[in-house]
């Protein structure tokens, strides 16, 4: 379905356009090798699973992406959809690629990430589980 | 054609009635069984509203306003008489009313003892709108404003007199009732009988009346004014009101059905409900099936709402949430919650009700719950990490 | 060039005062005017100053006017709301700003290590009445468009600074999302521009150039003055051009009832501002005093 087709619908679809669901295209914002290559080749990763109960991803959720024929996990660090007051909204849906232990594949994030991610990721991290807080260390700027 | 005479029908039914009347209480809990042996379920979420019946104290309220050809002097004289009787017209806490002298000057408020089973009376309020507040951690709280509109106790009905004519039931829990009136009006608007309801308390007729069941120890003398500080910030209340009248609505709006597709060969059934019952043995529509019909305009109770803040000047309660039934400027009754885990465990601050002469100093204009941010307090800051 | 800006601003104000005295938001009907008036019409619309003193406040404090929807109105609720707004205003200075103004908001947050957060951007929307008034700031940081919405009366906001006070041609600038990035890029350490007292608010008449489609909105169907229309027409297909006429509603400017329902009557506006005028005036005086003290202290420190 092309973008213009969605606009011709008689009902409001922009809210759903911004949902991060299966098959949504995302943008890798770290400098990992695979992420950089995928964005440069014009083949942005495609979300193939959202690890939450709703199936619609938002800031701090883990997603499984298909990127250049591989399956990788990523954390959403900024979304397009409408946000409550004080929470930033971005022009793109951004992810940072991580491996199974929560270590980011790159070593720098080149866009701003929301400050509330710090609290959200700390809450998701347990003593013997995956440590998501490592991506906070490679962030360049918080808004 | 064989005609069934009433006596024959009675013969047919009576043994069965006899049979079912002997069934023990426990087995009656499951499906409702009719006299003819049929059983059915009620599948609607809520039982149907009871048949509206006028309460016993209900009297004809409105009078026919025919032209009495009164002169201006006569009209002024009638006004003067009513002002002499009920006090001069005044604006009290933002509402136009009569400055009625309190009967409690002669006979002070009799105060009962609070126990755990005590039931206090409630208040009649008007929903005046919603606005946001913030808590001390900077989170948004939505509140609905309920203004206590000129409430007075009209009369006390002892437990013996309640429903005595309608139902001959034995009162296990001897609850009395308080009749509360709200919004004083011009007595010329109403019938003589209706105005007579208020004569005992020395009050002008009220626009709204409500009956609250109370235990006898929470009794209040007729004529006593009720204030918003009947409750305290942090109290948990139930609110009852009539929901917004939406008229005759289809299933998509009334019950949230999906409807059917706009295209793919679908014709004339885009907003219809679809099937309403199966065939086979039970070839009929089950009672309680969700169908189009009148939506709203039903009395609904929302339980367990916290009072965040009270304005003592205008008698306004700031109650949690936006889902209080009814439109803005509609009448809502509020009372202590009956939820077992959240109802009062300790005596309320003012029992049976708040009376201003109990206090030496007047209350501050705004009373806040502990977790609510005061609007005139400085900006919320968070502690620096150590 | 500047004199031209000021003149346009004057023209706009006069339009709003005289043709649409009931209008709540400063530009909502002004923008629907086909063309701006000439200088001769300004003089024709000259009014006694007395009337404009209180009505002028509806541009500076638009959220003091309640929601015009008649079913939701209640005089006591509105009064209580105004009192709470004044209480909050006594704690922090909420400056005069408009859509198009560049602002910086410093707010306290439990998430950040410094427990503070500052965001600078252009105001692209201002809406809501009473305590629910909000505004949205937009900026492009590290080549990524970022937007943050704030409640105007949020108690965690420490400071609202106006960096460059100006208006745009429209009362909503959501088209900046589809415009080239330079139109919404502002350095985070921008120096505030101070306007001399009693000068009219300058109107920025830039017309933005849009990026190629897809867009977040159907901008060709709107009549936003701040979009470069000639360039926009080169970006859309012939089919879309044909549909423009179909979606236009030229009769709406004659719909007096629609305007009436969307506005608060002039008498009520005067009543409302008469109620809050003295307190707002006191706050303004206090603001000026503190400003003077601040400017006096600064040279001492540097010396």
Q: Which residues of A touch C236 (CB under 8 A)?
A: none
Residue B29 in this model has a pLDDT that exceeds 60: no
B40, pLDDT greater than 60: no
Q: For chain B, what is the mean pLDDT? A: 84
At residue C71, the pLDDT reads 93
**Stretch B279-288: mean pLDDT:** 84
Q: What is the pLDDT of residue B250?
A: 95
Interface contacts (B, C; CB < 8 Å): 79
Determine the residue among B377, B378, B379, B385 to mutate to test chain C binding: the one whose Cβ has the most chain C Cβ atoms within 10 Å: B379
- Chain B residues within an 8 Å CB radius of C91: 376-379
Residue whose C-alpha is closest to residue B268's, from B256, B276, B280, B259: B259
The DSSP bridge pattern shows strands A109-113 and C102-108 to be unpaired
CA B227 to chain centroid, in Å, comes to 17
* Best residue in C124, C146, C183, C219 for a mutation probing chain A (most A CBs within 10 Å): C146
Per mean pLDDT, which range of A34-38, B31-35, C211-215, C266-270 is the poorest?
Answer: B31-35
pLDDT at C196: 87
Kindly tell me if the per-residue pLDDT of B131 is higher than 90. yes
Q: For residue B128, is pLDDT > 60?
A: yes
Mean pLDDT (whole number) for C116-133: 95
- Select the highest-mean-pLDDT range: B44-48, B109-113, B271-275, C80-84: C80-84
Residue A91's contacts (CB-CB under 8 Å, 6 or more residues apart) are A80, C144, C145, C146, C177
Per-residue pLDDT band for B171 (boundaries 50, 70, 90) equals low
| Least confident window among B77-86, B165-174, C211-220 | B165-174
> Which DSSP state fits A104?
B
Q: Coil, helix or strand for C303? A: coil
CB pairs under 8 A between A and C: 72
Mean per-residue pLDDT of chain C: 83
- Mean pLDDT on B308-332: 96
pTM above 0.90, yes or no: no
Q: Do β-strands A139-142 and B32-33 pair in parallel, antiparallel, or remain unpaired?
A: unpaired
Give the helix ranges, DSSP H, for C25-124. Answer: 39-44, 49-55, 57-60, 75-91
Position B16 confidence tier, pLDDT thresholds 50, 70, 90 = very low
- pLDDT (average), residues B376-384: 89
How much is the pLDDT for B14? 41
**Between chains, do C110 and A119 touch, taking CB under 8 Å as contact?**
yes
pLDDT in tens, B240-268: 999 999 999 999 999 999 999 989 999 99
Q: Judge contact between A79 and A57, C-beta under 8 A.
A: yes
Q: B258 CB contacts (<8 Å, ≥6 apart)?
A: B252
- Cβ–Cβ < 8 Å for B155, B222: yes
Q: Are B156 and B110 in contact (CB under 8 A)?
A: no
Chain C hits for A13, Cβ within 8 Å? none
- Which residue among B129, B134, B384 places its CB closest to the CB of C74? B129
Mean per-residue pLDDT for B318-342?
A: 96
DSSP single-letter state for residue C29: T
pLDDT at C32 over 80: no
Does the CB of A14 have a partner CB in chain C at under 8 Å?
yes
C-chain CB neighbours of A112 within 8 Å are: 141-142, 144, 146
For residue C283, the tally of other CB atoms under 10 A from its CB is 16
Would the pLDDT of B158 be above 90? no
pLDDT band at C53 (very low <50, low <70, confident <90, very high): low
Q: Residue for token digits 């979420």?
A: B45
Give the C-alpha distances (Å, rounded to integers) separating A130 from A103, A123, B204, B280: 9, 11, 71, 56
Task: Output the DSSP codes for B155-218.
Answer: EEE-GGGTTTTT-----SS--EEEEEEEEE--GGGB-HHHHHHTGGGT---EEEEEEEEE-GGG
pLDDT recorded at residue B358: 83
| Alpha carbon of C116: minimum distance to chain B alpha carbons (Å) | 9
**Per the structure block, which two tokens stand in for B99?**
């400055």
Q: Three-state SS for A28?
A: strand
Residues of chain B whose beta carbon is less than 8 angstroms from a beta carbon of chain C are 94, 128-129, 131-134, 137-138, 140, 145, 147, 311, 314, 316, 327-329, 373-385
Asked if C108 lies within 8 A of B316 by C-beta distance, the reply is no
Residue ranges of C 75-134 with Cβ closer than 8 A to chain A: 107, 109-113, 117, 119, 134
Judge whether residue C24 has pLDDT over 50: no
Is C74 part of the contact surface with chain B (CB cutoff 8 Å)? Answer: yes
Higher pLDDT, C303 or B250: B250
In this predicted structure, the answer to whether residue B173 has a pLDDT above a threshold of 70 is no
| Contact call for residues A141 and A112 (beta carbons, < 8 A) | yes
The minimal CB distance from B314 to the residues C80, C109, C110 is found for C80
Contact in structure between C138 and C124 (CB atoms under 8 Å) = yes
Q: Percent of chain B, pLDDT > 70?
A: 81
- Which residue of C lies nearest to A117 if distances are taken between CA atoms? C111
- Residues of chain A in contact with residue C213, where contact means CB-CB under 8 angstroms, are 4
| pLDDT score recorded for residue B132 | 96
Whether residue C155 and residue B316 make contact (CB cut-off 8 A), yes or no, is no
Distance CA C4, CA C89 (A): 35
Checking if the pLDDT of B25 tops 80, the result is: no
Q: Is the dihedral of CA B351, B354, B360, B364 positive or negative?
A: positive
Residue C150 has pLDDT above 70, yes or no: yes
What distance lies between CA C27 and its chain's CA centroid? 9
**Percentages (nearest 5) of helix, strand, coil residues in chain C:** 45, 15, 40
Residue B287: what pLDDT? 83
What parts of chain A have a pLDDT lower than 50?
1-9
Instruction: Give the pLDDT confidence score for residue C33 in this predicted structure.
Output: 39
Instruction: Quote the DSSP letter at residue B32.
Output: E
Interface residue C148 vs chain B (CB under 8 A): no
Share of chain C above pLDDT 90, in %: 66
Question: Which of chain C's residues have a Cβ under 8 Å away from the Cβ of B149?
Answer: none
Cα A78 → chain centroid: 6
Asked if pLDDT for residue B7 goes beyond 60, the answer is no
**Rounded to a whole number, what is the distance in Å from the CA of C162 to chain A's nearest CA?**
18
Touching B (3+ Cβ pairs <8 A), the chains are: C
Nearest beta carbon to residue C80 from set B311, B377, B385: B311
Q: For the residues C147-171, what does the mean pLDDT come to?
A: 95
Q: Which of C74, C113, C156 sits opposite B128 (nearest CB)?
A: C74
C260 and B CB contact within 8 Å = no
Query: Which whole number is the average pLDDT over C75-92?
Result: 95
Task: Look at the block and give the residue holding tokens 């208040």.
Answer: B123
Taking residues C225-234, what's their average pLDDT? Answer: 95
Q: What are chain A's partners, defined as 3 or more CB pairs within 8 angstroms? A: C
Predicted local distance difference test score (pLDDT) of residue A7: 47
Which residue of B314, B316, B380 is in closest CB contact with C156? B380
pLDDT in tens, B58-69: 788 888 888 889
pLDDT band at B49 (very low <50, low <70, confident <90, very high): low
């Amino acid at each position: 379905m092309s973008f213009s087709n969605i606009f011709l619908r008689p009902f409001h679809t922009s809210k759903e356009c911004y949902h991060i669901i299966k098959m949504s295209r995302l943008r890798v914002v770290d400098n990992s090798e695979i992420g950089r290559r995928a964005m440069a080749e014009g083949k942005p990763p495609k979300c193939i699973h959202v690890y939450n109960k709703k199936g619609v991803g938002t800031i701090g959720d883990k997603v499984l992406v298909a990127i250049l024929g591989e399956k990788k996990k990523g954390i959403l660090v900024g979304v397009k959809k409408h946000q409550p007051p004080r929470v930033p909204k971005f022009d793109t849906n951004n992810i940072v690629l991580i491996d199974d232990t929560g270590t980011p594949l790159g070593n720098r994030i080149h866009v701003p990430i929301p400050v509330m991610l710090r609290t959200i990721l700390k809450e998701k991290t347990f003593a013997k589980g995956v440590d998501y807080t490592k991506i906070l260390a490679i962030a360049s700027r918080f808004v | 054609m064989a005609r069934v005479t009433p006596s024959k029908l009675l013969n047919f039914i009576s043994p069965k009635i006899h049979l079912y009347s002997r069934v023990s209480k426990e087995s009656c809990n499951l499906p409702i069984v009719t006299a003819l042996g049929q059983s059915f379920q009620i599948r609607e979420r809520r039982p149907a509203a009871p048949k509206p019946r006028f309460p016993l104290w209900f009297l004809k309220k409105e009078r026919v306003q025919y032209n009495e050809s009164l002169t201006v002097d006569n009209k002024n004289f009638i006004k003067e008489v009513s002002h002499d009787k009920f006090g001069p017209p005044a604006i009290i806490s933002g509402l136009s009313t009569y400055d009625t002298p309190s009967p409690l000057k002669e006979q002070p408020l009799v105060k009962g003892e609070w126990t755990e089973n005590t039931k206090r009376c409630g208040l009649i309020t008007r929903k005046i709108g919603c606005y946001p507040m913030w808590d001390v951690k900077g989170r948004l709280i939505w509140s609905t404003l309920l203004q206590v509109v000129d409430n007075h106790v009209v009369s006390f009905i002892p437990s013996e007199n309640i429903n005595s004519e309608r139902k001959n039931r034995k009162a296990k829990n001897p609850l009395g009732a308080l009749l509360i009136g709200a919004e004083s009006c011009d007595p010329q608007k109403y019938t003589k009988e209706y105005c007579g309801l208020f004569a005992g308390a020395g009050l002008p007729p009220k626009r709204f009346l409500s009956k609250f069941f109370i235990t006898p120890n929470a009794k209040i003398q007729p004529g006593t004014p009720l204030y918003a500080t009947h409750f305290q910030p942090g109290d948990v209340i139930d609110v009852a009101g009539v929901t917004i009248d939406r008229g005759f609505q289809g299933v998509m709006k009334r019950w949230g059905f999906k409807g059917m597709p706009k295209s793919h060969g679908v014709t004339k059934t885009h907003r219809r409900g679809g099937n309403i019952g199966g065939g086979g043995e039970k070839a009929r529509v089950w009672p309680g099936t969700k169908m189009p019909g009148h939506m709203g305009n039903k009395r609904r109770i929302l339980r367990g709402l916290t009072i965040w803040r009270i304005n003592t000047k205008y008698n306004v309660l700031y109650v949690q949430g936006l889902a209080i039934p009814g439109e803005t400027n509609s009448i809502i009754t509020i009372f202590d919650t009956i939820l077992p885990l959240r109802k009062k465990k300790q005596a309320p601050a003012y029992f049976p009700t708040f009376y201003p002469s109990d206090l030496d100093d007047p209350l501050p204009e705004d009373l806040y719950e502990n977790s609510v941010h005061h609007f005139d307090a400085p900006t919320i800051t968070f502690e620096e990490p150590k | 060039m500047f004199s031209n800006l000021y003149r346009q601003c004057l023209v706009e104000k006069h339009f709003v005062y005289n043709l649409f005295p009931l209008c709540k938001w400063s530009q909502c009907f002004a923008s629907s005017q086909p063309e701006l008036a000439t200088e001769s019409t300004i003089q024709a619309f000259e009014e006694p100053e007395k009337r404009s003193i209180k009505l002028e406040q509806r541009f500076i404090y638009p959220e003091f006017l309640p929601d015009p929807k008649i079913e939701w109105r209640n005089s006591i609720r509105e009064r209580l709301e105004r009192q709470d707004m004044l209480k909050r205003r006594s704690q922090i200075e909420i400056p005069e700003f408009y859509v198009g103004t560049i602002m910086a908001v410093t707010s306290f947050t439990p998430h950040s290590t410094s427990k503070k957060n500052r965001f600078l951007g252009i105001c692209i929307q201002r809406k809501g009445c009473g305590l629910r008034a909000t505004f949205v700031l937009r900026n492009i940081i590290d080549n990524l468009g970022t937007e943050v919405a704030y409640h105007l009366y949020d108690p965690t906001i420490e400071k609202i600074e106006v960096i460059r006070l100006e208006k745009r041609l429209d009362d909503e600038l959501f088209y900046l999302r589809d415009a080239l990035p330079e139109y919404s890029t502002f350095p985070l350490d921008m120096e505030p521009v101070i306007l001399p007292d009693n000068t009219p608010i300058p109107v920025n008449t830039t017309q933005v150039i849009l990026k190629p489609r897809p867009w977040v909105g159907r901008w060709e169907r709107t009549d936003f003055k701040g979009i470069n229309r000639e360039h926009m027409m080169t970006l859309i297909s012939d089919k879309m051009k044909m549909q423009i006429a179909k979606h236009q509603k030229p009769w709406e400017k004659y719909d007096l009832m629609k305007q009436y329902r969307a506005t608060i009557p002039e008498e009520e506006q005067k009543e409302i501002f008469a109620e809050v005028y003295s307190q707002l005036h006191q706050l303004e005086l206090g603001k000026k005093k503190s400003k003077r003290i601040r400017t006096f202290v600064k040279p001492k420190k540097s010396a």
